[in-house]
Amino acid sequence: MKLNDYWQQLSYEPTTELNEAARQLHHASQFVAIFGNSLLPKASDDSQSNMAWLPSLNGLAGQEVNLRQRVRMALCYDNFELQLIDENENPIGAFPLSGQTKSTALSFVRTQAREMGLKDSQIQPISHFQLPEHELDKGAPFRMVDPGHHQELARYRQNAHFALQEAAKAYDYATPVATWPHHFDTGSVINLAFDDSSNAVKTIGIGLAMADQVCKEFYFYVSPWQKKGTINWKDLRSLPGNAEWKNGPWNGAVLKLSDVVRLSNAAEQRKLVDSFLQVAIAASLYLLGAETVRS
């Protein structure tokens, strides 16, 4: 699929309400991640808990588990619903989240597991990280205030998934694009150099992140890293549009979604994101002094 074919025009200016809808989805996504995290061997990069965007569902799906059949848990954005789906992405069980609590959502996941021959005790919440505290943790119900927010956030994920795939495919050792339950970012890591034990020692992280300490709204990012040596953050190349370099606790290039949304059509939005990723990755390669084999 070419970049022009998939991009869905973004139209919502980032708002407090949009960020809150994203937090609701973030907490709901934990029940997708729980399934793979509980039932699959732990991977060194924690990928047993990550998720992929499925355009057919307009939602995120976790890792596939082979039980009585091949299944995985999914979170559908449009109707704010958890689903257990089969290998053909057909729903086996569904649980609308609005009005429900985290406790009842966990019960749904465990019920689906029991129907596949498992015990409740085999499905456990993820304990090796914690999300920022939210009223949902105190028993408040999930809620979808505005379906339009969920639809826009689905467009964020759709666009990011394919834009990042397009950017990462040029590099032989880029990881698959995935969404991670901890920070709820959709991203890939471009591995550039390895030590004698095959551990990456130079990388470039690329992705889409939700509002956090780096930026108060969704943003695309490109972040170079190396295990040894110092990166010269004063030797920075200019970035397209209003994108900028951040230097502090977190270092990298940032393109705010508000700067993308303000463009008048899908083609212009796509062009800016594509240009940002290309320029920021090239600048990161320069900062790292990296040579890599491109596909």
Per-residue pLDDT of the chain (295 residues; tens, 9 = 90+): 454 578 999 999 889 999 999 999 999 999 999 999 999 999 999 999 999 999 999 999 999 999 999 999 999 999 999 999 999 999 999 999 999 999 999 999 999 999 999 999 999 999 999 999 999 999 999 999 899 999 999 999 999 999 999 999 999 999 999 999 999 999 999 999 999 999 999 999 999 999 999 999 999 999 999 999 999 988 898 999 999 999 989 999 999 999 999 998 999 999 999 999 999 999 999 999 975 444 3
Q: How many angstroms separate the CA atoms of 3 and 156, rounded?
A: 14
Residues 62 and 181 in one domain: no
Same domain, 97 and 118: yes
115 and 22, same domain (yes or no): yes
Tell me how many domains the chain contains.
2
**Nearest Cα to 33, choosing from 91, 74, 68?**
74
117 and 220 fall within a common domain: no
Closest CA to 256 of 216, 219, 295, 294: 219
Q: Are residues 158 and 280 in the same domain?
A: yes
Same domain, 21 and 80: yes
Question: Does the residue 263 lie in any domain?
Answer: yes
Residue 205 CB-half CA count within 13 A: 19
Give the tokens for residue 158.
Answer: 């759709």
- Residues 133, 166, single domain; the answer is no
Question: Does residue 6 lie within any of the structural domains?
Answer: no
Return d(Cα 292, Cα 143) in angstroms, integer. Answer: 46
Which pLDDT score, from 0 to 100, does residue 4 have?
53
Domain match, 152 and 277 both? yes
Residue 2 has a pLDDT of 52
Q: Among 84, 117, 138, where does a domain finish?
A: 138
User: Tokens standing for 205?
Assistant: 């992280």
- Domain shared by 31 and 79, yes or no: yes
Does one domain contain both 104 and 172?
no
Enclosing domain of residue 102 = 14-138
295 assigned to some structural domain: no
Last residue of a domain, one of 110, 138, 166: 138
32-57 pLDDT per residue, tens: 999 999 999 999 999 999 999 999 99
**Kind and range of the H or E element at 110?**
helix 102-115
22 and 76 in a single domain? The answer is: yes
Examine the domain organization and report whether 112 and 94 are in the same domain.
yes
Burial class of residue 143, CB neighbours in 10 A (0-12, 13-18, 19+) = middle
Which of 138, 168, 202 corresponds to the end of one domain? Answer: 138
192, part of any domain:
yes
Residue 238 CB neighbour total at 10 angstroms: 9
Domain-located, residue 293: no
Q: Bridge-partner residues for 193, per DSSP?
A: 202
Strands (E), 31-105: 52-54, 59-61, 65-66, 70-76, 81-86, 91-96
